[in-house]
Structure 1
Amino acid sequence: MKRLTTGDGTRVAYRDRPGSVSATGPEPRPSVLLLHGLAGHLGEWDDLAGRLQSAGHRVVAFDARGHGESTRRPASVTRAAHVEDAVTLLRELDLAPAILVGQSLGGHTALLLAADHPELVRSLVLVEAGPARPNPELPREIAGWLDSWPVPFASLEEARAFLGHEAWARGLEKRPDGLRPRFDRDTLVRTMTELAAADGYWSHWSRVRCPTLLVRGASGTMRADEAAEMSARRPDTRTAVVPGAGHDVHLDRPELLHTEIEQFLADEPTRDEPTSR
């Protein structure tokens, strides 16, 4: 685990997996930056990150501000602050132009970054993520969800049974009374406030110019009409629906997600080739 400090003093924890030239030939493959969703942590990506690394990619995953080993109560949790953290990683670690893979809220961050910093992004993979529409009830819904967690959990098995994935359970921290989340509940609720009030981010979606793959779980929570509108506004967007997967496609079916990503990367034009956009 490594850390760097962003412009507003937030400490961001990250894990950097080196790529392998020999895995794919004389030239290294593009670097990948992985962005997790709300209440998540960088360890969620371990399975997919290992597959991408084995394919020759340098892979960096990080704990978003307010999560995991990053600053737990940062001064700002705006969308712009989350984007700036990712921008700092891309520049400080010399990753750009990189492939961004973001799930849920992390995918939203990746989308905004691709719109505002096109020079840093080679291609974009959105997993159950899009521009979204305003939902004033979202902070209340998130608060209710977090309050439903029966913490502290007595064991890893109990946490896994409630949260649904071992990877989520591994994101908890051990305290004297049991296992508790590595985030502050009120900070996460504040994180969703701007997203709930904004009138969507469709203008950002229209500004994205890099090759894009949109992945949905067959039983995920992303609305079908949102995905359809994304494709209508940018017809060159590649889409995939992963069977046997819900919102956490990267945890439910990491092998199929990796296959979709590799096929997408194999088919995308080089950065020097004109596209149909």
Structure 2
Amino acid sequence: MPSEDPTSQWSSITRDGTELAFVACGAGPVVVILHGLAGESGEFAPTMAALAQQYRVVALDQRGHGRSTRRPADVSRDSFVQDVVALIAHVSHDSPVHLVGQSMGAHTAMLVAAARPDLIDSLVLLESDAGSGTLDDAVGLGEFFASWPVHFTDDAEALAFLGDSPIAAAWVKSLERRNDGLWPRFDADIMESCIRHVMRPRWDEWVSVRARTLVVYADGGMFTEAHKQEFVSRRPGTLRADLANASHDAHLDQLEGWIRILTRFLNTA
């Protein structure tokens, strides 16, 4: 598995006053990757490295996340969708791309595919549904992110607080290095606002997706088997793959299995 980090050369575009940072590597058909809530493109550096020999891989820091504008005026689902449309126009000149997303990023990807079928060759959704959750869930996530010390002194302090897990390690790696310590690249209230919009089910959009689509689930992820089956069965023709011994962040804790499933699908798309 390639180990080099392709996320060293950042670029950006601006849409509706919001700066959108992205990183790209490789050459070939374009694959656009969208991270989940409170994530950033660096999480997908190993995925990008694995694909870069065959594809032009572009990973976006979605608004409110990473190196993109921290406090955007609009965090509606449509704002995220239009960001991706603008990115595709920039990197592929409106030619269709393969679109990959995880969690909230998968929800964004689904909505992009529904809104702009002309831009999507194929769609891969890792740990996704049409939208679900409660207000209490959103508040709980906001409270969790608000509980982070601002700032951490060093990596060791951050890991001690966040725990020993692949997603914790990814969060620590993504912290902004300043002279006075390590700072999160997002604000808790923005994260809560973002996820609230994801919770409304978008079944009409889901069943309207025309692109060849693969949904990937983890056995230790967020969704029950009944939930998974409902999502896949609502849209005939949807392909499903499952990862064993994996969490909601399967791109981190089951990287080899994730890459194997992803590349097999992309190479036959």
What TM-score comes out, normalization by structure 1 length? 0.87
Structure 1 residues 151 and 217 mapped into 2: Cα distance closer, same or farther (>3 Å)?
Answer: farther
| Unaligned runs of at least 5 residues, structure 2 | 1-9
Kept after mapping to 1: 8 A contact 2:104/2:195? no
Per-residue CA deviation, residues 185-223 of structure 1 (Å, 9 max, x unaligned), is 211111122233x3x111111001111111111211133
Higher strand share: 2
Classify the secondary structure of the residue corresponding to 1:214.
strand
> Distance in 1 between the 2:149 and 2:186 partners?
15
The code of the aligned residue for 1:10 comes to T
1 CA distance for matches of 2:205 and 2:220? 27
1:161-185 residue CA offsets vs partner (Å, 9 max, x unmatched):
5252332211111234421201122
What are the within-5 Å matches in structure 2 for residues 113-132 of structure 1? 113-132=112-131
RMSD, matched Cα: 1.7
Q: Does the CA-based 8 Å contact 1:10-1:65 persist in structure 2? A: yes
**2:130 match: secondary structure:** coil
Do structure 1's residue 173 and structure 2's residue 176 form an aligned pair?
A: yes
- Give the 5 Å matches for 1:1-277: 1-6=10-15, 8-19=16-27, 28=28, 30-54=29-53, 56-94=54-92, 96-161=95-160, 162=162, 164-165=165-166, 166-196=169-199, 198=200, 200-268=201-269
Q: Verify the 8 A CA contact 1:138 1:192 in the aligned structure 2.
A: no
Aligned-pair identity in percent equals: 40
Structure 1: unaligned runs, 5 residues or longer: 20-27, 269-277
Of stretches 248-257 and 164-173 in structure 1, the one that deviates more from structure 2 is 164-173
- Larger displacement relative to structure 2 (171-180 or 236-245): 171-180
**Which piece of structure 1 moves more, 175-184 or 119-128?**
175-184
* Length-normalised TM-score, structure 2: 0.89
Query: Could you tell me which residue of structure 2 aligns to residue 273 of structure 1?
Result: none
Partners of 2:25 and 2:267 in 1: CA distance: 21
Q: Is the 8 A contact 2:107 2:198 kept in 1?
A: no
What amino acid maps onto 1:4 in structure 2?
A: I
Q: Which amino acid aligns with 1:75?
A: A
Asked whether the 8 Å contact 1:48–1:255 carries over to 2, the reply is: no
Superposed CA deviations along residues 218-248 of structure 1, whole A, max 9, x for unmatched, are: 2111332222012211231111111221011
Distance 1:37 1:235 in 2: 25
SS at match of 1:70: coil
2 CA distance for matches of 1:168 and 1:136? 24
Counterparts of 2:158 and 2:223, CA distance in 1? 25
For residue 93 of structure 1, report the CA deviation from its aligned partner.
Answer: 1.3
Instruction: Give the Cα separation in 2 of the matches to 1:4 and 1:111.
Output: 22
1:136 & 1:168 partners in 2: Cα distance?
24
Aligned in 2, Cα 1:53/1:86: closer, same or farther, shift over 3 Å? same
1:53 shift after superposition: 0.5
The whole-number CA distance in structure 2 between the counterparts of 1:242 and 1:189 is 28
Higher deviation after alignment, 259-268 or 38-47: 259-268
Task: Provide runs of 4+ in structure 1 moved above 4 Å.
Answer: none
Residue 135 of structure 2 aligns to a residue in which SS? coil
Find the aligned partners of 1:90 and 1:160 in 2 and give their Cα distance: 35
**Match of 2:98, SS?**
strand
Matches of 2:227 and 2:49, distance apart in 1:
31
1:157 is displaced (CA, Å) by 3.3
For 2:131, give the aligned amino acid: A
State the Cα distance separating 1:134 from its structure 2 match: 4.9
Preserved contact between residue 104 and residue 198 of structure 2 (Cα < 8 Å): no
Paired AA for residue 68 in structure 2: S
